[in-house]
Amino acid sequence: MRHFFCWLILGILGFTLVTACNHHTSQNISSPSKPSVTECRMVKHTMGETCVPINSQRVITLSLSTLGNVLALGIKPIATTNEVHEGEKSLTFVPGKTEGIKFLGLSQPNLEATLQLKPDLIIGVDWFKPIYPLLSKIAPTVLGELYYPTWEKYLSFVAEVLGKQETEKALWQRYYQRIEELKLALGNRYQDKKISFIYVGSKQIDVATKNSFAGSILRDALLQRPASQDIEVPYGYFPISLEELEKADGDILFVATSSSGGKEFLEKTQRNPLWKNLKAVQENHVYFVNFTAWAATHMLGTDAVIDDLLKYLVNTP
């Protein structure tokens, strides 16, 4: 009986050991693609928490704001979407920055093309929530909150996802240095002037308020806005009719369009007597700028806006 119990105990121990080894091997085979704790880190976003790879090599960006911030942080994505240009595939106003980046579609990405690119990280904004379950099956996906007045916070989110917080600090230092240089160049010549910015679309005119992307830069440069624009509204823009053109007026008027339809509507607007009555028009202080830059909502756009302010407010007679 004593020998029987000894053999029984040895048998149980052997079975337990073999089962444990097999279970460990089975786990390794069934989930080889899951990164270990040391290969990814948890990031909170609008859809919960996701473990994102450290030092991602194949990043896809969803939205031009995401693209611009990722580029500014020193990483070149393999593909992106574009929601600004109507029927155009131009990705950004910065020459050479987007060469080799694949175009995945206007607004919504082509999911089949996205899958074929084998990304290791997808970064986007919260308006992609409806397709998040599909995107997250392709690669770890994070969606940040972006409304135009909060573009600064979205930059911080993208920097956190990519582990580029130190680079973000350097970007802000450079931005405020450029703002100080702009303020020095402007001097006191515009302390009593009002600066207006409008976007002319294919069917309407949108006026940028102080909480728009361009408005935040004008604010930092201590440039004043017309009373009609010195307000905060959702998304930083409000539409006006041709009969309300006085809301677009200022001592200086910056105008942007982003499509052929917008250019046609601008030409129609310029033939309107109310346009010709604007102070900025009569004094020949209307300047045409790149809409993709002035509505960029990312760090690359700040340089373009500051460059335009220097060009037209400092270097133009």
Our count of domains for the chain comes to 2
Q: What is the CATH number of the domain that holds 283?
A: 3.40.50.1980
pLDDT of residue 292 exceeding 50: yes
Instruction: Give 61-102 pLDDT, tens digit per residue.
Output: 999 899 999 999 999 999 998 765 544 455 666 667 888 899
List, as one string, the DSSP characters of 118-187. Answer: --SEEEEEGGGGGGHHHHHHHS-EEEE---GGGHHHHHHHHHHHHT-HHHHHHHHHHHHHHHHHHHHHHT
> Given this model, what pLDDT does residue 33 score?
42
> Given this model, what pLDDT does residue 112 score?
95
What does each C-alpha distance from 50 to 144, 253, 294 come to in angstroms? 12, 45, 32
Closest listed residue to residue 120, CA positions, set 216, 54, 210:
54
| Residues 196 and 298 both lie in one domain | yes
pLDDT (mean) for 262-281 = 94
pLDDT of residue 31 exceeding 70: no
Whether 274 is in a domain gets the answer: yes
Domain span including residue 91: 37-166
Whether 158 is in a domain gets the answer: yes
pLDDT of residue 235 exceeding 90: no
On average, the pLDDT of the chain sits at 85
- For the chain, give the percent of residues with pLDDT over 90: 68
Contact of 76 with 58, CB cutoff 8 Å: no
Per 3-state DSSP, the chain is made up of helix, strand and coil in percentages (nearest 5) of 50, 20, 30
Q: Global pTM?
A: 0.82
pLDDT of residue 181 exceeding 60: yes
**Last residue within a domain, chosen from 136, 166, 196:** 166
Whether 15 is in a domain gets the answer: no
